[in-house]
Chains A and B, each alone.
Chain A
Amino acid sequence: MTTDHAPLLSVQNLTVASATGGAPLIDGLSLTVRRGEVLALVGESGSGKSLTALSITRLLPRGLRITGGEIAFAGQDVLTMSPAALNRMRGAGIGMLFQQPQAMLDPTARVRTQVAEPLILGKGMARRAAFARVIDLMRNVRIPAPEARAKAHAFELSGGMAQRVMMATALAAEPELLIADEPTTALDVTVQAQILQLLKAEQARRNFAILLITHDLTVVQAFADRIAVMYAGRIVEEGPAAQIMADPQHPYTRALIRCSLLEPEADGRLLSIPGSGATARDIACGCRYAPRCHVVQGDTHLHHRCCGAEPGLIGLGTDHAVRCHASQTQASAA
C-alpha cells in the first residue's frame, strides 16, 4: 500500500442542510481517504452516508445544500470549483457506483453509448476508438460477450451485469477515487461476492482509492483498510479495519458488528439495536446514540454525562478515534 501523506480526499466539518432550513442532515462530518486505500463508511440508512457521497461530487439533489465545512480532492477545493472543473473531476478524478445499477442506466440508450461518454466527452477520444476501448473495459470487468452486450439496453441486463457496466463506466477515465455507494445491496448474495471480488481485483491492479459506503460490516471486513462508522450525521468511530473489527470501542460499532455477523446472544436470540436509526434531525441532546445505547441504560452517572454533552472524537492511539464518553473513561482509567 502506498501511503502518500497528503490525503487524496479530505472532508472537514462538512454540514449539509435542507435549503428550507431545519437541523442539518450531516453535521460536522470529517473523513480522509488516502491514495490507494479503501475506506469503508458504515452506518444505518438515514445516517447520511449517501448524502456524504453526493456532497463530495457536488451532486446533492435540489433542495439540499452544503452549509459548511471543506472538501478537498487531490489538493483542490471542491466547494469553490468552477462547473467545468467539477465536470472534469467527476469521471476523470472520481468515479461513482450506486445502489440500483439498472436505474442508473438510461433506458433509451445503448450500453456502449454510456460507457464511452467519459472517453468521448471527458477525454475527447474519437467515437470509433472509444467504442473499441469500451469492449476492453467491459472485458476487464468480466462481462461475457462484451461485443453483444455493448449494444444492449439496460433492460436486457441483470442487476449484476448492470453493476459491471456501471463499473466499466466509472473506471473508464481511470479515476483516482471510486465512490461506491452500497454497490451490492440490491444484488443477489452470490452476485454480491463476485462484484466485490472484482472491485478488489481492479483496485489492486490499478491502485485507485475506494470510498465504500455500506451498512454491511461483513462486506467491510475482507475489503477495507480503514473503517469510519457513521451515526446520525456524525462519525462516531474511525480506525484501521482489523482493529475496529477486533476491538470496537463505540457501543454502536459493537452492536453493528454483532448484528451483521448474526451472532446469537446468550439466550439464543439475535441481537437488534433497540429503537430506530436516528437521522441528524432527531437529536435531542448530548450523545446522539445515547437513547439507544445499552451502556448508558442502568448507569445513572453515565446517563447524566451522555445526555448532557456530546463527546468529542478522541484519538485512542494511531489512527483510531472514538466519540464516546464511556470508552474514553475506560481508556483514561486504563
Chain B
Amino acid sequence: MWKIALQRVAMLILMMLCVSLLAFLVPMASGSDPARTILLSHGSDLALDPAQVEALRRELGLDQPLPMQFLIWLGNAVQGDFGNSFASRQPVIHEIGSALIVSATLALSALAIAVAVALPMGTLAAMRPGGRVDGGVTLLVQTFVAIPEYWLAPILILIFALHLGALPSSGWFGPTSVILPALALSIRPMAYFTQVTRAAMIDVLNAPYITAARARGLSMPQTVLRHGLRNGSIPVVTFFSLWFASLLGGSVVIEVIFAIPGMGRLFYEAVINKDIPLLQGGFVAIVALAITINTLADILYVVINPSLRGANGR
C-alpha cells in the first residue's frame, strides 16, 4: 500500500519535472527577445537603446546559458514565484490565481448543470433501451453535440439578457453572471455525460444484483436510486474529471463572448503579448491541477466502489 503510494508520488514528481521543462522551453521558442518585447510594450519608441536592452537582459538573467536559466526559474517556481508578467508587471502567480478561480467556478457550474441533466436523462434512456424515451434522448444528445458554443452563447444572450432582461449579458460579478456562460458551456459535456450514463446504466441494470434488489421488494425507482446510480456513476466520474481538467484551461470562445476574466482569455492575451513568464506559469499551473484532479478521481473510484481497492494501484 505504502510502496504503491510512494511509487505514485515519485511518478508525479518526475512528470511535473518534464512538464516544467516543456513549460519553460516552449514559450521561449517564439524566438523573440523578451527584453526587447518588454521594452517595446512599455514605450512606443521603436528605436531601442541597445545598452538599455542589455541591462534588462542581465536583470532578467537572460545572459545566462539556457540550462542555468531553467534551474533558476525552476528554483523560483518551486517557491511559487513564476516572475512578473511582462504585460501587467504583476506577479504571474496572482494573475493566474485570480483567473483560475474564475475558470474553475465557470467549469464547475457548467459541469454541475451537465451532470444534473445527464444523470436522469441517461438513466431514463437506459431503463428502456430502444424505447421512445431512449430515442428522444439520443436525438437530443446528437443535437447538443452539434451545437457550437459561439452560436448558442449569443442565442442565450438574446433570449435571457436582451429579450427577457433576466440575466446580465456579460461581465463577471456575482452568481447571476455565471448562469448564461455556464449554460452555454454545459451543453457539450451534457451530451457526452448523457451517453456515458446511458451506456453504464444499461450494463448496471442488467446486473444480477439489480434483479436481487427487485426480488427483495424494491420498486424500480428505489432500485435505480439505491443500487443503480452509484454503480453507474464510475465512468461519469472519469468523464467529469477529464472535462474539468480541460475546462480549467479556460474556454476562449465563451470567455471572450461573455467578457469573463478567466484562463482562456489570460492565455490568449499572453500569447498575443508574447508574455513568456505568464505562459510558463500558466502551463505549469494547468498541468499540476490536471494531475491533481486525475489523482482525486482515482481516489473517488475506490470511495464509490471499495472492491476496486488495489485494482487501481498499477
A: residues with CB less than 8 A from B are 54, 57, 59, 61, 83-84, 87-92, 95-96, 98, 100, 103-109, 113-114, 117-118, 121-122, 153-155, 166, 169-170, 172-173
Min CB gap B188→A, angstroms: 29
CA gap between A154 and B227 in the complex, in Å: 13
Q: Which of B230-286 contact A (CB under 8 A)?
A: 230-231
Is B216's CB within 8 Å of the partner chain A? Answer: yes
Is B306's CB within 8 Å of the partner chain A? Answer: yes
Chain B contacts of A95 at CB under 8 A? 215-216
Chain B contacts of A100 at CB under 8 A? 208
Min CB gap A170→B, angstroms: 7
Chain B contacts of A61 at CB under 8 A? 206, 211
Residue from A109, A113, A118 within 8 A of B217 (CB atoms): A118
Q: Please determine whether B307 and A90 come into contact, CB atoms closer than 8 angstroms.
A: no
Chain A contacts of B227 at CB under 8 A? 106, 108-109
Chain B contacts of A114 at CB under 8 A? 213, 216
Is B218's CB within 8 Å of the partner chain A? Answer: yes
CA gap between A87 and B215 in the complex, in Å: 8
CA gap between A105 and B219 in the complex, in Å: 17
Residue from A103, A117, A154, A155 within 8 A of B216 (CB atoms): A117
CA gap between A104 and B213 in the complex, in Å: 8
Q: Please determine whether B217 and A104 come into contact, CB atoms closer than 8 angstroms.
A: no
CA gap between A108 and B222 in the complex, in Å: 15
CA gap between A166 and B215 in the complex, in Å: 11
CA gap between A207 and B254 in the complex, in Å: 69
The 4 A-B residue pairs with the shortest CB-CB distance in the complex, in nearest-first order: A91-B217, A155-B307, A104-B212, A96-B215
Chain A contacts of B214 at CB under 8 A? 59, 90
Q: Please determine whether A87 and B217 come into contact, CB atoms closer than 8 angstroms.
A: yes
* A109 in contact with B216 given A59-B211, A100-B208, A153-B306 (CB within 8 Å): no
Min CB gap B214→A, angstroms: 6
B: residues with CB less than 8 A from A are 206-209, 211-219, 222, 226-227, 230-231, 304-307
Known: A105-B209, A106-B227, A114-B213; 16 extra A-B contacts, CB below 8 A, are A61-B206, A87-B217, A89-B217, A91-B217, A98-B212, A103-B209, A106-B231, A108-B304, A109-B226, A114-B216, A117-B213, A117-B218, A118-B216, A121-B222, A166-B212, A170-B216
The residue in chain B whose Cβ has the minimal distance to the Cβ of A170 is B216
CA gap between A121 and B222 in the complex, in Å: 9
Chain B contacts of A88 at CB under 8 A? 217
CA gap between A87 and B208 in the complex, in Å: 18
CA gap between A103 and B231 in the complex, in Å: 13
The residue in chain A whose Cβ has the minimal distance to the Cβ of B129 is A62
CA gap between A57 and B213 in the complex, in Å: 12
Chain B contacts of A103 at CB under 8 A? 207-209
Chain A contacts of B226 at CB under 8 A? 106, 109, 113, 117
Residue from A57, A87, A106, A166 within 8 A of B219 (CB atoms): A87
The residue in chain B whose Cβ has the minimal distance to the Cβ of A152 is B306
Q: Please determine whether A107 and B217 come into contact, CB atoms closer than 8 angstroms.
A: no
Residue from B217, B222, B230, B306 within 8 A of A173 (CB atoms): B217
Count of A-B contacts judged by CB separation below 8 Å:
89
Q: Please determine whether B307 and A153 come into contact, CB atoms closer than 8 angstroms.
A: yes
Min CB gap B158→A, angstroms: 44
Chain A contacts of B206 at CB under 8 A? 61
Q: Please determine whether B209 and A117 come into contact, CB atoms closer than 8 angstroms.
A: no
Chain B contacts of A109 at CB under 8 A? 226-227, 230
The residue in chain B whose Cβ has the minimal distance to the Cβ of A83 is B219
Min CB gap B67→A, angstroms: 51
CA gap between A83 and B217 in the complex, in Å: 10
Min CB gap A73→B, angstroms: 14
Chain B contacts of A169 at CB under 8 A? 216
The residue in chain B whose Cβ has the minimal distance to the Cβ of A103 is B208
A-B contact pairs, 13 of them (CB 8 A): A88-B217, A91-B217, A91-B218, A96-B212, A98-B215, A107-B305, A109-B226, A117-B218, A153-B306, A155-B307, A169-B216, A170-B215, A172-B216
CA gap between A183 and B212 in the complex, in Å: 13
Min CB gap A63→B, angstroms: 11
* A59 in contact with B209 given A107-B231, A108-B305, A154-B307 (CB within 8 Å): no
The residue in chain A whose Cβ has the minimal distance to the Cβ of B211 is A59
Q: Please determine whether B217 and A90 come into contact, CB atoms closer than 8 angstroms.
A: yes
Residue from B207, B216, B231, B306 within 8 A of A91 (CB atoms): B216
CA gap between A109 and B223 in the complex, in Å: 12
Chain A contacts of B222 at CB under 8 A? 121
Chain A contacts of B216 at CB under 8 A? 90-91, 95-96, 114, 117-118, 122, 169-170, 172-173
* A104 in contact with B307 given A59-B214, A59-B215, A169-B216 (CB within 8 Å): no
Min CB gap A197→B, angstroms: 23
CA gap between A109 and B307 in the complex, in Å: 10
Min CB gap A226→B, angstroms: 24
**Residue from B209, B222, B227 whose CB has the most chain A CB atoms within 10 Å:** B209
Chain A contacts of B305 at CB under 8 A? 107-108
CA gap between A114 and B214 in the complex, in Å: 11
Chain B contacts of A113 at CB under 8 A? 226
Min CB gap A162→B, angstroms: 11
Q: Please determine whether A104 and B209 come into contact, CB atoms closer than 8 angstroms.
A: yes
CA gap between A166 and B222 in the complex, in Å: 19
Min CB gap B45→A, angstroms: 67
CA gap between A89 and B215 in the complex, in Å: 9
Min CB gap A97→B, angstroms: 9
Q: Please determine whether A117 and B212 come into contact, CB atoms closer than 8 angstroms.
A: no
Q: Please determine whether B217 and A92 come into contact, CB atoms closer than 8 angstroms.
A: yes
Q: Please determine whether B209 and A106 come into contact, CB atoms closer than 8 angstroms.
A: yes
Chain A contacts of B304 at CB under 8 A? 108
CA gap between A90 and B215 in the complex, in Å: 5
**Residue from A90, A166, A169, A170 whose CB has the most chain B CB atoms within 10 Å:** A90
